[in-house]
Amino acid sequence: MRLIAANWKMNKTVAETEDYLTKFLKILGTPEDREVLICPPFTALYVAGRILKDTPIKIGAQNCHYEEKGAFTGEISIPMIKEVGCSYVIVGHSERRHIFGESDEVINRKLVACLERGVRPILCVGERIEDREAGMTFKVVETQIRLALSGIEGLTDLLDVAYEPVWAIGTGVPAKPEDAVTVHRFIKDLLKEINPKSEGRTRVLYGGSVNPENAPEFMKHKEVDGLLVGGASLDPEAFAKIVNSF
C-alpha cells in the first residue's frame, strides 16, 4: 500500500493542529488503497493522536532519540512518542543532517532503536546540489543507505526510505519525475543487494517541493511508492488533494 506522509516541520500549535485535522477529516473522505501519515511537531502529537485515534490516519514523529530515557535535555524518546500513538518516525531528514549536524552513526543508532521498539522509521536520503552537479548522486545516496543500515541489513522490510534531494526541499523546484524514478530504481536495487531475502516491503517515497499539481506526475510511476510532503501539507485542502491525486 502506498504511503502519503505529511511533515509539518516546526509549524502549527496545538490549537492549529485541532483546527487542521477537523477540516482535513471532512475533506479527505476514506481512501482505502493508500496509507496516510501526519507528522506534527512534538507538542501537537498528543492532540493529534486523540483526534485521529479512531480513523485510519496514522501519526508519526519528526525525530527521536535512540536512548529509552536519561539525561538528554530537550530530547524525546521512542516510548514517549509511542505512548501518544505514533507508529512512524522520520529519521535522518536533511535538515537534521545539515542544520543540526546528525551523523550517519547517529542515524544508524536511531534506526536500530526504532526497530527494537516497534515503530517504523522513514529513512531520509538525498544529495546536495553540489553533489548532483559533480555526478555524485548515486554515490551519496548509496553511502547514506549503507551506513544507516549497518548491522540491520536483514531488517529492511521493516522500514521505508524517502528520497529527498536536498536542493529540491522547500525551494519550489522539485526533481523531474524521470530523474526521481531513476534514483528510486537505484535505491530499490541497492536494498535488494543489501538484503537478498527482502520481501520488497520497503517503500521508496519521493519528497522535495511536492504539491497538488505535480503529485500525480510522481505517483503515476510504479517506482514511486509514496510521497513525503513538506510545505504543501500545511494546508488541509492541498494535502487532501495530494492524498487523492492518484
Q: Where in the sequence numbering do the catalytic residues fall?
A: 93, 164
Buried b (16+ CB within 10 A) or exposed e, 52-90: beeeebbbbbbbbbbeeeeeeeeebbbebbbebbbebbb
Quick one: CA torsion of 148, 41, 223, 110, rounded to 10 degrees? 10
Sort 223 into a burial class: Cβ within 10 Å, 0-12 / 13-18 / 19+: middle
The CA angle 97-2-242, to the nearest 5 degrees, is 80
Length in residues, the chain: 246
- CA proximity to 205, closest of 62, 35, 40: 35
- Per DSSP, helices labelled H in the chain are 14-28, 45-52, 78-83, 94-98, 104-117, 129-133, 137-148, 177-194, 215-219, 236-243
The CA angle 196-183-94, to the nearest 5 degrees, is 100
Sort 32 into a burial class: Cβ within 10 Å, 0-12 / 13-18 / 19+: exposed
